[in-house]
């Protein structure tokens, strides 16, 4: 099996080390072998991006538009192949994998359009005869550090705006899932990105990520991952004056009110908590249910979970794939144990499952009789584990929903316009969903949260310009 190399300064280069990428649905299946860069190689990539920046930042909008459009079209044409690879290496179901690959293609096409809409402002000065122009310029070299749970969409929603606004990129994907990142990079390279403008640096966070954070030749870092790693990166970036954007965890609430349509509520809650094996920062792991519907909701959820097909991600009909790896599985099982010890009751699941192929299978776990101060209600588990929290009424539900250190996404199931409208205003989250799952967002609108979930400007949509550009104010006195 040949080793998949890094792409630095326009060439494919191997690092000193390589690792096997194993399918979490079938541990006997090796997806491929992928190189790991050392610090010197990461620094070469940064130097290549720095050297390419002056020319790339001056390219015409047409050139950048055409490149991004071509990348987007190629991803869309290959979405089945890419989606299969993604599902094989990460464990989300095949429809989820193909959907994510398609989303990556749409993101590139969206930013191909945004290239043509880069905006500025012209204002009159407070002084006579002077014009003021406000323009957006590229930041420079951007370091992108991505997690394992969206191996193609998250890289796409960072790489596409970085290139669109005239920046050069050094990209470090998660060590656990280099396959989709490598395949995406190959498409970017085959589409004709100039040498040095885009560099793929696979390797460990503690080596490659560290090199990015420490480098004074990187102007900005966009990171998605855990709170601990994100906050440490922000502190280091602040020390050397580097711009930073962090998307981190969530403990997203889904409120279910007495007047909710039960089918809608159960559908949205199942999707929010268990699709993609609960491994989404937008997943809902706190189902906050008012008294009048509580018992009916728990009974209907339990029935739904009994029939949810947990199996090999590539198998037709699978609704929930395996957990991504042993360490995440250990984390999930440990939280299930913590929940039981805290006095919560398992209404369903939380058990290791055996399937035809050996993998990290876990049945969806639904806790009842929980409170919002239990650890399982406060800490991000990042697996198929959800707690039902019983509350008296809407006011108590809202207070419970907001009682968290996170603020990424929040949902409400209700047929009341009054409560839906109030919740949209009063929820302390960056994204609010009414009668919809907390996860699964559009690609053309801003994505991000409040409180401990996010830091820095928003990602995605036209709001991405805020992070990937720097504003210049120019004064002219024509004389």
Ligand X SMILES: O=C(O)CCC(=O)C(=O)O
Which amino acids are annotated catalytic?
Answer: 247
Pairwise CA distance, residues 291 & 297, whole Å:
10
Mark the segment that binds ligand NDP (CB under 6 A) among 57-65, 71-79, 171-179, 399-407. 171-179
Nearer to ligand NDP, 198 or 212 (CB): 212
Contacts of ligand X in 276-295 (CB under 6 A): 280-282
Question: Is 367 one of the binding residues for ligand NDP (CB under 6 A)?
Answer: no
- Partnered with residue 252 across adjacent β-strands are 284
The count of residues interacting with ligand NDP (CB under 6 A) is 27
Site string for ligand X, 135-174 (x = CB under 6 A): --------------xx---x--------------------
Mark the segment that binds ligand NDP (CB under 6 A) among 11-19, 105-113, 218-226, 421-429. 218-226
Mark the segment that binds ligand X (CB under 6 A) among 14-22, 74-82, 190-198, 435-443. 435-443
List the one residue from 233, 300, 320, 329 that touches ligand NDP (CB under 6 A): 233
Q: Residue 467's closest CA among 113, 143, 58, 55?
A: 143
Mark the segment that binds ligand NDP (CB under 6 A) among 118-126, 147-155, 180-188, 392-400. 147-155
How many residues can be counted in the chain? 479
Mark the segment that binds ligand X (CB under 6 A) among 133-141, 261-269, 384-392, 433-441. 433-441
Pairwise CA distance, residues 91 & 149, whole Å:
9
List the one residue from 21, 191, 229, 277 that touches ligand NDP (CB under 6 A): 229
Q: Which does 440 bind (CB under 5 to 8 A by kind): ligand NDP, ligand X, none?
A: ligand X
Contacts of ligand NDP in 280-339 (CB under 6 A): 281, 328, 331
Answer whether 148's CB lies under 8 Å from 323's CB.
no
Nearer to ligand X, 196 or 457 (CB): 457
Q: Which does 213 bind (CB under 5 to 8 A by kind): ligand X, ligand NDP, none?
A: ligand NDP
The rounded Cα 337 to chain-centroid distance in angstroms is 27
Which pair of tokens denotes residue 461? 């949509």
Nearer to ligand X, 168 or 255 (CB): 255
Answer whether 348's CB lies under 8 Å from 388's CB.
no
Answer whether 250's CB lies under 8 Å from 409's CB.
yes
Question: Is 440 one of the binding residues for ligand X (CB under 6 A)?
Answer: yes
DSSP class of residue 205 equals: I
Pairwise CA distance, residues 261 & 375, whole Å:
30
Question: Is 205 one of the binding residues for ligand NDP (CB under 6 A)?
Answer: yes
Q: Residue 313's closest CA among 5, 62, 97, 76?
A: 97
Answer whether 126's CB lies under 8 Å from 141's CB.
no
Pairwise CA distance, residues 445 & 282, whole Å:
15
Answer whether 197's CB lies under 8 Å from 142's CB.
no
Please list, in sequence order, all residues whose beta carbon lies within 8 angstroms of the beta carbon of residue 368, skipping any fewer than 6 positions away. Answer: 298, 344, 345, 346, 347, 387, 388, 390
Nearer to ligand NDP, 282 or 469 (CB): 282
Nearer to ligand X, 344 or 410 (CB): 410
Per the listing, tokens 């908590």 go with 273
Contacts of ligand NDP in 234-263 (CB under 6 A): 248-249
- Partnered with residue 276 across adjacent β-strands are none
Nearer to ligand X, 148 or 198 (CB): 148
Closest CB 236 distance from ligand NDP, rounded Å: 8
The count of residues interacting with ligand X (CB under 6 A) is 10
Beta strand pairing call for 131-138 and 121-124: antiparallel
Beta strand pairing call for 243-247 and 220-224: parallel
Answer whether 278's CB lies under 8 Å from 382's CB.
yes
Closest CB 362 distance from ligand X, rounded Å: 18
| Contacting positions for ligand NDP (CB under 6 A) | 145-149, 172, 174-176, 204-206, 209-210, 213, 224-226, 229, 233, 248-249, 281, 328, 331, 380, 382
| Contacting positions for ligand X (CB under 6 A) | 149-150, 154, 224, 280-282, 439-441
């Amino acid at each position: 099996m040949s080793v998949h190399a890094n792409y630095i300064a326009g060439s494919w280069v191997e690092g000193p080390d390589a690792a096997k990428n194993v399918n979490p649905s079938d541990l006997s299946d090796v997806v491929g072998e992928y190189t790991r860069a050392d610090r010197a190689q990461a620094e070469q990539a940064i130097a290549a991006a720095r050297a390419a920046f002056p020319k790339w930042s001056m390219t015409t909008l047409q050139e950048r538009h055409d490149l991004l459009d071509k990348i987007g079209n190629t991803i869309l044409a290959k979405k089945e192949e890419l989606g299969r690879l993604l599902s094989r290496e990460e464990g989300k179901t095949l429809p989820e994998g193909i959907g994510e690959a398609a989303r990556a293609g749409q993101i590139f096409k969206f930013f191909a359009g945004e290239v043509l809409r880069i905006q500025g402002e012209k204002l009159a000065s407070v002084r006579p005869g002077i014009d003021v122009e406000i323009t957006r310029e590229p930041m420079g070299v951007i370091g992108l550090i991505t997690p394992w749970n969206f191996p193609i969409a998250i890289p796409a929603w960072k790489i596409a705006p970085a290139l669109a606004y005239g920046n050069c990129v050094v990209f470090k994907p998660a060590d656990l899932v280099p396959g989709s990142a490598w395949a995406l990079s190959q498409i970017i390279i085959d589409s004709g990105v100039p040498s040095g403008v885009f560099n793929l640096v696979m390797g460990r966070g503690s080596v490659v990520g560290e090199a990015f954070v420490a480098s004074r030749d990187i102007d900005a870092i966009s990171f998605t991952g855990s709170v601990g790693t994100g906050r440490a990166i922000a502190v280091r970036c602040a020390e050397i004056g580097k711009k930073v954007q962090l998307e981190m965890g969530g403990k997203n609430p889904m409120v279910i009110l007495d007047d909710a349509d039960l089918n809608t509520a159960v559908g949205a809650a199942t999707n929010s908590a268990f699709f993609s094996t609960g491994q989404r920062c937008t997943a809902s792991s706190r189902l906050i249910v008012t008294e009048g519907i509580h018992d009916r909701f728990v009974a209907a959820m339990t029935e739904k979970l009994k029939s949810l097909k947990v199996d090999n991600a590539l198998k037709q009909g699978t609704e929930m794939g395996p957990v991504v790896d042993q360490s995440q599985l250990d984390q999930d099982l440990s939280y299930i144990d913590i929940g039981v010890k805290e006095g919560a009751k398992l209404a369903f699941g939380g058990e290791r499952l055996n399937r035809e192929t050996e993998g990290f299978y876990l049945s969806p776990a639904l806790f009842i009789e929980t409170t919002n101060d239990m650890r399982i209600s406060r800490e991000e588990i990042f697996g198929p584990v959800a707690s039902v929290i019983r509350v008296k009424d809407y006011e108590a539900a809202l207070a419970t929903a907001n009682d968290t250190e996170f603020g990424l996404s929040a949902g409400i199931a209700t047929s009341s316009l009054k409560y839906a409208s109030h919740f949209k205003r009063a929820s302390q989250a960056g994204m609010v969903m009414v009668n919809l799952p907390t996860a699964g967002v559009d690609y053309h609108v801003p994505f991000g949260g409040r409180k401990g979930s996010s830091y820095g400007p928003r990602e995605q949509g036209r709001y991405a310009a805020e992070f990937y550009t720097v504003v210049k104010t120019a004064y002219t006195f024509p004389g």
